Amino acid sequence: MPIAELGDVRIRYERYGDRGDPVVLVHGSWVDHRTFDRIAPVLGDSMRVLAYDRRGYGGSTGPTRAHPVKDDAEDLANFLVATDLYPAHVVAHSYGGCVAFHLAGSRPELVRAVVAHEPPCLGFLEDDPATALEAQELRAGVAQLRRALRQGEIESAARGFVTALARDPGAWDRMPVDGKATFLANAPHWLEEVSDPETDRPELSGLSEAMSPVLLTEGADSPPFLHRMTEALARRLRNVKVQQIPDVGHFPHLTRPAQYIGLLHRFLVERDVPAM
């Protein structure tokens, strides 16, 4: 796999396709670029696709992130410039959506459009009196997982995380062995990310001023708190569309890849989002 040398950061990535608009896929916490293996090659038939490991994940290396979401956004900006693939459509999952919005807010000239599936913008729930109590309860749940990790109870924390998102107590047990191994290996990076107070409050002013189009997706089967986070995020954006995907939860690119690819094509290719 190729490596992009970004000073003291080395980013490992896969590249698919040689024509069409550039697209970069930004993975969430606990996983790496392989989470997109079911969609990246197909998207590469019509677009130039980059799937990369964020710093510390997979084969990407660099100093420990002092401010994870800002450092990840800066890495992504440098990566797009180094590969000369910008302005790009940024397709992001979960925490990757927080990275995408920080990038779009700070470097809007690099972003053509953003598609984000259920970014965990918990901070925005805290700002609304109607959801503030729920946000407190969610913070308490995250704090419990953080304590488990710090006490070395890595599998217990990973199981709790997967169970909460899948709404299924047996979801962890049904995961393949290599999937569990990836989760466990990346648990410390998730701990860094949820310990960063800026993670769940992405800076959006630059994106709103640039008017770059945004598609926020949510799974019909996802926990309702993720729907409320998506709605809270949408209220803070100007050029935004929210679309619920039937029969999927938090991982549409894994559980319904063909359906998810069709959605991306309709928004990015058939809609022909213009370069800013």
Q: Report the percentage of the chain scoring pLDDT > 70.
A: 97
Domain ranges of the chain: 3-126+203-270, 140-194
Q: Which residue has the higher pLDDT, 204 or 119?
A: 119
pLDDT of residue 207: 76
CATH architecture of the domain with range 3-126+203-270: 3-Layer(aba) Sandwich (3.40)
pTM: 0.95
pLDDT at 273 over 90: no
pLDDT of residue 204: 83
Spell out the SS3 assignment of the chain: CCEEEECCEEEEEEEECCCCCEEEEECCCCCCHHHHCCCHHHHCCCCEEEEECCCCCCCCECCCCCCHHHHHHHHHHHHHHHHCCCCEEEEEECHHHHHHHHHHHHCHHHEEEEEEECCCCHHHHHCCCCCHHHHHHHHHHHHHHHHHHHCCCHHHHHHHHHHHHHCCCCHHHHCCHHHHHHHHHHHHHHHHHHCCCCCCCCCCHHHHHHCCCEEEEEECCCCHHHHHHHHHHHCCCCCEEEEEECCCCCCHHHHCHHHHHHHHHHHHHHCCCCCC
Mean pLDDT, range 41-69, rounded to an integer: 97
pLDDT tens digits, 212-263: 899 999 999 999 999 999 999 999 998 999 999 999 999 999 999 999 999 9
